[in-house]
Amino acid sequence: MDFLGEHQPEMLPGNRQLPPVQGVIEAPHGTTIVAVTFPGGVVLAGDRRATMGNMIAQRDIEKVFPADEYSAVGIAGTAGLAVEMVKLFQLELEHFEKVEGAQLSLEGKANRLSTMIRSNLGMAMQGLAVVPLFAGYDVDRGRGRIFSYDVTGGRSEERNYATTGSGSVFARGAMKKLFRDDLTEEQATTLVVQALYDAADDDSATGGPDVARRIYPIITVITEDGFRRLGEDEAAELAGSVLQARLEQPDGPRAALL
């Protein structure tokens, strides 16, 4: 990124002159991203909808990307800028790894992302915010970790689970009730689908599983073995079983009162 700044500064997201505009620019926005840790790793997932005002801009957008072998980023906010930011972030991690011959620490990666979000602050003030969720497997500590951000680049490590985007409030509520610390990988993936379903249930900008078009949430798992994205069949099966259960109980599994 420093090299890019020296040689082709116009390629960096933060260095653009903004035209003065009245009101808010209409551009596609990505919506809900959720993450949850389980013993041995972390799951990061996102719905597939992008909205522009009250219109659905895209039904099958992909908002969860591998950052490198052991980490992934899920993006909420202005889709165009967010995808560019992820591309640059991926490039930086890969570049560092090749030049130095070693990977950045998970903290280092999280800090780098923080700087990139901060450089976008000018855009964020005009309504083009990017708010990602970063999840990775910490090879040194042997566990999955989640980092959440605010628009100003403020970074905070989340324990257990985290959400971002317009449906995050509803997803967080669902995760709060369903989370336990002894989840298996399969339970953790089911949990994120439940949370995304609840987000889609109450937030118009979040898309639920689309059985007719075969569009399902993107679910990724990061463990000691590295990054893995669930195939369409696996995601379809998970979404199918959640959907089936919701036919009986539309509000999802019930937690005990006391």
* Residues forming the active site: 31
Q: Which is nearer to another protein, 4 or 243 (CB)?
A: 4
Q: Which is nearer to another protein, 119 or 160 (CB)?
A: 119
**101 belongs to the binding site for another protein (CB under 8 A):** yes
CA-CA distance, 232 to 170, in Å (whole number)?
A: 25
**Contact predicate 246/254, CB 8 Å:** no
Residue 9: CB minimum distance to another protein, A: 13
**11 belongs to the binding site for another protein (CB under 8 A):** yes
- Which sign does the torsion angle of CA 37, 39, 42, 45 carry? negative
Residues forming a β-bridge with 228: 221
Alpha-carbon torsion angle 52, 23, 63, 105, nearest 10:
180
Judged by DSSP in three states, 7 sits in helix
Applying the rule CB under 8 A, the residues between 52 and 91 that interact with another protein are 87-88, 91
* Among residues 60, 62, 94, 138, the one that binds another protein under rule CB under 8 A: 94
Least Cα distance to 215 among 56, 100, 48, 74 occurs for 48
Residue 95: CB minimum distance to another protein, A: 5
* Among residues 17, 23, 55, 99, the one that binds another protein under rule CB under 8 A: 99
CB atoms within 10 A of CB 103: 17
**Helix axes of 106-118 and 79-100: crossing angle, nearest 10 degrees:** 140
**224 belongs to the binding site for another protein (CB under 8 A):** no
Q: Which is nearer to another protein, 71 or 206 (CB)?
A: 71
Q: Which is nearer to another protein, 3 or 141 (CB)?
A: 3
Residue 107: CB minimum distance to another protein, A: 23
**10 belongs to the binding site for another protein (CB under 8 A):** no
Residue 223: CB minimum distance to another protein, A: 16
**15 belongs to the binding site for another protein (CB under 8 A):** no
3-state SS of 80-109 is HHHHHHHHHHHHHHHHHHHHHCCCCCHHHH
Interacting residue ranges for another protein, rule: CB under 8 A = 3-4, 7-8, 11, 87-88, 91, 94-95, 98-99, 101
